[in-house]
Amino acid sequence: MSYGSEATKKSNKKKRELVGDEVYLEHKRDIQMRCYWKNLDWSRQYASDFGRTRRYELKRQVLLGYGHRCSCCGEDREEFLQVDHVNGVPEDERRSYAGKRRARISGVELYRKIISLGFPADYRLLCSNCNYSFGFWKYCPHQIEFSLFDLVQSAKEA
């Protein structure tokens, strides 16, 4: 493969004009994904090296800022913890960047926002199980279990 040679650049430009931006970018993404799978070991290593650096530091700060545990079940292992929007995604986080199909900010951008605002109550931590359940079912089974437990306890005490 010869990436970046003048001839390649010229021919790519021609192709792009021929098929239109959308088809061209779709095709380009397709090739990028194929490269990703072809160099999977390298890609994984790169992703985990990167993850351990800046992004990880920011995430850690956010986790610590919110007590480092799932606000539903108390799970405290960082691998499971995610940031959840208590009242849905606010308007200023909904964006779509040209070419990047992204409905909202996430990751580093979101961590920076949260840290700069001083860990507002609009966010909370959930583990991935609880997050999924709230997202899909609008409740988490833990809540039912905990309230049953409370009921049983109060019945015992009565």
Query: According to the binding rule CB under 5 A, does residue 125 interact with Zn ion?
Result: no
Instruction: Tell me whether residue 28 or residue 142 sits nearer to Zn ion (CB atom).
Output: 142
| Residue 81 contacts Zn ion per CB under 5 A | no
Which of 73, 81, 110, 114 binds Zn ion (CB under 5 A)? It is 73
Whole-number Å distance between alpha carbons of 140 and 146: 10
Measured between alpha carbons, how far is 66 from 33 in angstroms, rounded to an integer? 35
Stretch that binds Zn ion, among 43-51, 85-93, 113-121, 134-142 (CB under 5 A): 134-142
70 binding Zn ion? (CB under 5 A): yes
Is residue 112 a contact point for Zn ion (CB under 5 A)? no
Binds Zn ion (CB under 5 A): choice among 58, 63, 72, 81: 72
By the 10 Å C-beta count (0-12 exposed, 13-18 middle, 19+ buried), 140 is classed as buried
Q: Nearer Cβ to Zn ion, position 58 or 127? A: 127
Torsion angle defined by CA atoms of residues 24, 43, 82 and 65, in that order, rounded to the nearest 10 degrees: -110
Contacts of residue 87, defined as CB under 8 A and 6 or more positions apart, other chains included, come to 122
Residue 26 CA to its chain's centroid (Å): 22
Q: Is 130 in the site for Zn ion (CB under 5 A)?
A: yes
Q: Which residue has the tokens 């964006």?
A: 95
**Nearest CB to Zn ion, comparing residues 117 and 151:** 151
Sites of contact with Zn ion (CB under 5 A): 70, 72-73, 75, 127, 130, 140, 142
